[in-house]
């Protein structure tokens, strides 16, 4: 295929309609045994909040005579986020690709699939699933899924500090559900030469030195490789992707690569500058922390204590309510979330820090249509929430970063577990427009660890000072302790029915509830539950 042919394919790619945001162009290069294949793979992504934003892509599908099932799939795509068109030049002609990136109608979880075809053939389907580092809910890690020759390289790439703190990997499966590709995501687009894993792969593939200078400067967005068992025999292939938004339409492949690379490098510098402004982060932990071990308790036991919706936070009751039944507890648990709705816009992007077993996460997705992401340090909670198809990551909120900008950060009785609260509040200030919290405070005792040493208590006065020092402006402040106290009665009753367990967390909860049943009024007067909204 000639340069003129590829230029015409690029010119025919869909482009954003007048007045819409710039299109994001993409190209990829392949590292093969002894050579770098630079040309013949390019595409464009469109984004928007309505189906009309993707009309240009529908027109492109008709122009390239896409199979009827491809046109139908694009037309039927619900809740779109992004859609892409791409071309890969092959020996038998251009292979066309349609990418459909959307959200599940109920849970707002990401859905992502692609269809590929060549002229005169039926399309074949692939589905993608994104997982934050370090692993999937099933415990799969990317370095374990690639061919043996690439495992050390992929482990080095997956172990990059900013990868661990803010990104992850895509797993692509074929129409039969078999894993066929692993793709690491580098949203800050570092230069390839700064990534030890890419240098290792270049060495393993025997790439000539004359290609290394150009390759080292490439701003990499994704690194993809065929999964173990799907590699191409003695011809391994690693694909590097580069992407950036462009205001102008490239006239050919060389111009597309140059313009995308330049724009990506500018974006990378900005991202690195932002990362440089962050408060210092401690080293990433590779083993489960004590909090993980404490909170990764028995699911059946916690369901018996918390109820089917698994709300692990104080419920809010209409006073007085001395001995609520299960129906009242469920209604009050939901009320504890729904009373925050005035502070969380419909459709907002919400980062739920310390999301527990996912009760509030599910309500926000279903009832407020929020694009949610929960973060929990407990692997058992992570797996439970993932099984509900709710977006969640297994991470320590103190040692990771929010993966992008959010409208709201939600901390529903979770700030207590943070050791360095000022640092987290400063980090959230950089990544969220609003902070919505309920915080268990300890006003009439010195700051100290509580609840088996997992909570690091502060007074409500200290909380306000920390917020203000981190740059937050408090807009709402209210003590909800009295309304929440009947929750203790319900938990105490359910724990008694459950009986003794080997779960340290459940037994800590049992002892705590028993104590409060004796001194509840005095404890409530000294330990406010502060509801705070800050911007």
Render each residue's pLDDT in the chain as its tens digit; 535 residues.
Answer: 566 678 899 999 998 776 566 789 999 999 999 999 999 999 999 988 777 889 999 999 999 999 999 999 999 887 788 999 999 998 888 999 999 998 887 888 889 999 999 988 889 999 999 999 999 999 999 999 999 999 999 999 999 989 999 999 999 999 999 999 999 999 999 999 999 999 999 999 999 988 888 999 999 999 999 998 876 667 899 999 999 999 888 889 999 999 999 999 999 999 988 888 888 876 655 445 778 888 888 899 999 999 999 999 999 998 778 889 999 999 999 999 999 999 999 999 999 999 999 999 999 999 999 999 999 999 999 999 999 999 999 999 999 999 999 999 999 999 999 999 999 999 999 999 999 999 999 998 887 888 988 899 999 999 999 999 999 999 999 999 999 999 999 999 999 999 999 999 999 999 999 999 999 999 999 999 999 999 9
**How high is the pLDDT of residue 287?**
46
Pairing of strands 392-394, 168-173: unpaired
**How high is the pLDDT of residue 19?**
58
Pairing of strands 80-90, 110-118: unpaired
CATH hierarchy code of domain 292-534: 3.40.50.150
What's this model's pTM, rounded to 2 decimal places? Answer: 0.93
331: which strand partners?
none
Whole-angstrom CA distances from 465 to 424, 459, 480, 493 are 14, 10, 20, 38
Residue 81 and residue 201: Cα distance in Å, rounded? 33
437: which strand partners?
411, 532
Residues 6+ apart with CB under 8 A from 277: 430
The answer to whether residues 296 and 378 touch, using CB atoms and an 8 Å cutoff, is yes
Token pair belonging to 485:
């106290």
> Which residue ranges make up each domain of the chain?
3-129+170-275, 292-534
| DSSP-derived secondary structure for 306-365 | HTTTT--S----PSP-SS--HHHHHHHHHHHHHTTGGGS-TT-EEEEET-TTSHHHHHHH
**How high is the pLDDT of residue 3?**
61
The alpha carbon of 92 is separated from its chain's Cα centroid by a whole number of angstroms, namely 38
Whole-angstrom CA distances from 257 to 87, 260, 477 are 14, 5, 52
**How high is the pLDDT of residue 288?**
53
Residues 6+ apart with CB under 8 A from 151: 143, 144
**How high is the pLDDT of residue 9?**
92
What three-state secondary structure class fits 452? coil
Residue 499 has a CB neighbour count (10 Å cut-off) of: 9
């Amino acid at each position: 295929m000639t340069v003129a042919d590829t230029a015409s394919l690029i010119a025919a790619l869909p482009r954003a309609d007048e007045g819409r945001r710039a299109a994001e162009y993409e190209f990829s290069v392949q590292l093969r045994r002894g050579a770098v294949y630079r040309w013949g793979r390019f595409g464009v992504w469109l984004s928007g909040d309505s189906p009309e934003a993707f009309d240009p892509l529908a027109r492109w599908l008709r122009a390239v005579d896409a199979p009827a099932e491809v046109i139908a799939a694009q037309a039927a795509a619900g809740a779109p986020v992004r859609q892409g068109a791409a071309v890969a030049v092959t020996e038998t002609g251009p292979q066309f690709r349609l990418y459909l990136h959307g959200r599940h109608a109920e849970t707002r979880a990401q859905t992502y699939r692609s269809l590929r075809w060549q002229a005169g053939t039926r399309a074949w389907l692939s589905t993608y699933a994104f997982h934050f580092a370090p692993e999937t809910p099933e415990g799969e890690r990317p370095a374990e899924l690639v061919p043996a020759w690439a495992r050390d390289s992929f482990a080095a790439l997956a172990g990059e500090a900013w990868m661990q703190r803010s990104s992850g990997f895509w797993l692509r499966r074929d129409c039969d559900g078999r894993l066929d590709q692993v793709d690491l995501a580098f949203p800050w687009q570092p230069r390839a030469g700064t990534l030890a894993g890419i240098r290792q792969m270049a060495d393993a593939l025997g790439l000539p030195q004359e290609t290394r200078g150009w390759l080292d400067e490439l701003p990499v967005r994704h690194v993809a490789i065929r999964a173990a068992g799907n590699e191409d025999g003695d011809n391994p292939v690693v694909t590097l992707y580069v992407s950036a938004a462009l205001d102008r339409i490239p006239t050919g492949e060389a111009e597309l690569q140059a313009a995308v690379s330049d724009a990506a490098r500018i974006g990378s510098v900005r991202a690195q500058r932002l990362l440089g402004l962050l408060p210092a982060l401690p080293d990433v932990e590779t083993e489960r922390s004590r909090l993980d071990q404490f909170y990764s308790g028995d699911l059946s036991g916690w369901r018996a204590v918390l109820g089917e919706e698994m709300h692990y936070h104080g419920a809010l009751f209409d006073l007085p309510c001395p001995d609520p039944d299960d129906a009242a507890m469920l209604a009050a648990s939901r009320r504890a979330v729904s009373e925050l709705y005035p502070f969380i816009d419909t459709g907002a992007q919400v980062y739920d820090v310390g999301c527990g077993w996912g009760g509030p996460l599910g309500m926000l997705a279903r009832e407020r249509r929020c694009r949610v992401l929960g973060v929990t340090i407990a692997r058992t909670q992570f797996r439970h929430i993932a099984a509900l198809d709710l977006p969640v990551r297994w991470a320590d909120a103190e040692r990771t970063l929010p993966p992008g900008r959010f409208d709201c950060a939600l901390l529903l009785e979770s700030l207590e577990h943070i050791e360095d609260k000022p640092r987290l509040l400063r980090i959230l200030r950089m990544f969220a427009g609003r902070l919505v919290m309920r915080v268990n405070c300890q006003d009439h005792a010195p700051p100290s660890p509580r609840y088996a040493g997992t909570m690091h208590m502060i007074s409500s006065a200290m909380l306000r000072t920390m917020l203000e020092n981190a740059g937050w402006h408090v807009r709402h402040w209210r003590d909800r302790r009295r309304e929440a106290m009947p929750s203790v009665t319900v938990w105490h009753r359910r724990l008694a029915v459950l009986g003794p367990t080997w779960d340290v967390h459940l037994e800590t909860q049992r002892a705590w509830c028993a104590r409060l049943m004796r001194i509840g009024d005095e404890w409530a007067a000294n330990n406010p539950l502060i509801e705070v909204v800050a911007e």
